[in-house]
Structure 1
Amino acid sequence: MTTEPTTAAPEAKAELPLESGISIGTTISVPDQFIEAMREGLTATAVHNAVKEAVLTTWGATALHEDVKVHDLEHFLPCRRRARGTMSTAYVTPFAQYATAYADPGAAVFVDAEHMAATAVLDLGTKETPGHTDHRAKLQPTKTAAYQALLVINGRAQGQQQLAEFVEDWNITAQMKFFNSEGEIQTGKALAAIRRITVENLRKVDSEEQQLSANRTAFESVKATSQEPIPTLIYYTCKPYADLAARTFVLRLSILTSDKAPSLVPRIQNLEEHVEAMGNELATLVQDAIKGAMPVLLGSYSKGG
């Protein structure tokens, strides 16, 4: 049997489509912009993965290139990831309503009695899961007009006309009463005494001459009088803040006679005690309004670094 020699199969050759215009062995030149775009895409992906990994780990930190910026995409989401912001009011009731409605576990209220203010840190958190403490409610009571007017004249010299007009303006709102060492003075007589004050300046010189000595003594006295009894104490009763109870402030009235015309200086007695008592009253009001929904502490709170 005769065997015919086999012919080797022709070698397969890959051919590119004619429309590609690229032949085998051709070097392709890619624009630098394309390469840079690819690098930026890879960098962005790496940054995204690094930030995601950092958030999910305990440490929450990662190393990024200085030119890379992390963008917050929360405003593209259907809702915010968590509540934050500050609610401010001058009244206890809305402060307590907001604080109790939006408090997270671990929330607390801090009452700064010295500055008449309260802050509810609603996302304070717990020891195990501390919060960001950027969701708060602030209570800052505002002084009433009568109390503010009283503080304006406290310890400041007033002319006769100024003090008389102050009494006339605030007598009904603040329920003012006038006293001296002899008892209470009617408002009309007290106003008349303030408007008409007589200053008497008396000088007395006592001189003694001896053969070997001489002695001279000078006495000078200034006396302020009026046809009506001059008040030395003014009782000023008003509500210092809207939510606080009415309080009576006692003003001691002094007369300065050094200038051409006499001036009067009203000064609140024991103002510091009033401030302390009002701060404690505010703390009690807040505690009653919160109704045990969260702790109410005396002091202030500031977030650490």
Structure 2
Amino acid sequence: MPLSKEAIQHIESQAVIAAAKPITVEGGTTVTVLPEGIRLHTMEVFQPLRDRFRGAMVTHSIEDFAKYVKAHETDDAAPVDPRGFIDQDAMRATIIFNLGAPGAAGHGDDTAMLTLKPTAAYSALLAIRGSTLSQQALAEWLEDWLPNLEAKAGEADLPMLQAINAVRRMVIKATSQRDSNVGDFSSSRSAMDEIEAKSQDTLPSAFIFTTVPFEGLQPAHITLRLSVITGRDEPLLKLRWVGEEAQREEFAREFKAVLEQQVGGFVPLTIGTFALGK
């Protein structure tokens, strides 16, 4: 009785499995020949303990992150050549405890990640800076964050309540000027309209917003320049963060310095991100 195609394939598969032996190719990679469809099953779930420690810890707290790293380093199961990477743009740090080295690579599946969370005041600043606001909206925002603010009129200090009243009492003033010239053979006319925003009180030129931008960092003094947009019946206002890019870079440098102080003695830190290759 002739064997079916399926039976022949089954016999071939069993023969390949029986004869399969690991082969080490150049470069140290180990391979073996197995039939298609064969799956490997781990017995780890049936063991009292896992084969190795692995996991992913995530936090917003620098203090808790440092505690976890130090405890991990002093654990009985010593990690394999840990490495830390700092993403300054995202204000995020990732430590891979079992990364290993090029000659002895680890699995890279035991990690801790710290992402700094903006404080409420800093989040409020990010939400409003550069936005076009009405008088009422800006005045209410200034009142909400009054403890964090100082007002400036040029180089002079301005009481905050007076600055808020000045924002509320702004008016648009329009003036027109017309010139007319007549000659023997020609005539010309010109008109110029000037629109400006004024207040009955001294209008602030800038605000100093003081806040801790992220938990674990030092307070920062952020200058917000006030600009007024005319051309409508009611003025529109904007707060521009002066030197935003440079100050954000300073936050990132401080973040790295704090991490160096907290965990630099336990784990080498590198600026950048890292992804395990396949």
Instruction: Say whether the fold is shared (TM-score over 0.5).
Output: yes
| Structure 1 residue 297, shift from structure 2 partner | 1.3
| Structure 1 residue 198, shift from structure 2 partner | 1.3
| Structure 1 residue 266, shift from structure 2 partner | 0.5
Pick aligned residue for 2:235 from 262, 265, 268: 262
Q: What does 1:48-87 correspond to in 2, within 5 Å?
A: 50=20, 53=22, 58-87=28-57
The runs of 5 or more residues in structure 1 that have no matched partner are 1-31
Please give the root-mean-square deviation of Cα atoms over the aligned residues, in Å: 2.6
Q: Is the 8 A contact 2:85 2:93 kept in 1?
A: yes
| Structure 1 residue 139, shift from structure 2 partner | 0.6
Are residues 273 and 66 of structure 1, via their aligned partners in 2, closer, same or farther at CA, if it must alter by over 3 Å? same
| Structure 1 residue 260, shift from structure 2 partner | 2.4
Q: What does 1:11-26 correspond to in 2, within 5 Å?
A: none
Structure 2 SS opposite 1:274: helix
Q: 1:48 and 1:257 mapped to 2: Cα distance? A: 85
Give CA deviations for 1:236-266 in whole Å, capped at 9, x if unaligned.
0001111111001000000111222111100
Question: Is 2:143 aligned against 1:168?
Answer: yes
Equivalent position of 2:89 in the other structure: 114
Q: Is the 8 A contact 2:150 2:160 kept in 1?
A: yes
| Structure 1 residue 199, shift from structure 2 partner | 0.9
Are residues 304 and 203 of structure 1, via their aligned partners in 2, closer, same or farther at CA, if it must alter by over 3 Å? same
**TM-score, structure 2 as length reference:** 0.88
Structure 2 SS opposite 1:152: helix
The runs of 5 or more residues in structure 2 that have no matched partner are 74-78
State the identity as a percent: 30
Q: What does 1:220-239 correspond to in 2, within 5 Å?
A: 220-239=193-212
Q: Is the 8 A contact 2:180 2:189 kept in 1?
A: yes
Q: 1:99 and 1:206 mapped to 2: Cα distance? A: 76
- Structure with bigger gyration radius: 1
Structure 1 SS opposite 2:86: strand
User: How many residues are paired up?
Assistant: 267
Pick aligned residue for 1:93 from 44, 60, 63: 63
Give CA deviations for 1:146-195 in whole Å, capped at 9, x if unaligned.
000001010001111111111111112x2x01111261111111111111
Pick aligned residue for 1:133 from 92, 108, 118: 108
One-letter code aligned to 1:199: I
Give CA deviations for 1:191-250 in whole Å, capped at 9, x if unaligned.
111111111111111110111222222222112111110101000000111111100100
| Structure 1 residue 95, shift from structure 2 partner | 1.3
**TM-score, structure 1 as length reference:** 0.80
Q: Is the 8 A contact 2:171 2:234 kept in 1?
A: no
Q: Is the 8 A contact 2:16 2:34 kept in 1?
A: no
One-letter code aligned to 1:221: E
Equivalent position of 1:296 in the other structure: 269
Equivalent position of 1:14 in the other structure: none
Structure 2 SS opposite 1:283: helix
Pick aligned residue for 2:218 from 241, 245, 261: 245
Structure 1 SS opposite 2:30: coil
One-letter code aligned to 1:264: L
One-letter code aligned to 1:129: A
| Structure 1 residue 296, shift from structure 2 partner | 1.3
One-letter code aligned to 1:89: T
Question: Is 2:169 aligned against 1:199?
Answer: no
Give CA deviations for 1:77-106 in whole Å, capped at 9, x if unaligned.
221112222111111122122223335232
| Structure 1 residue 54, shift from structure 2 partner | 5.9
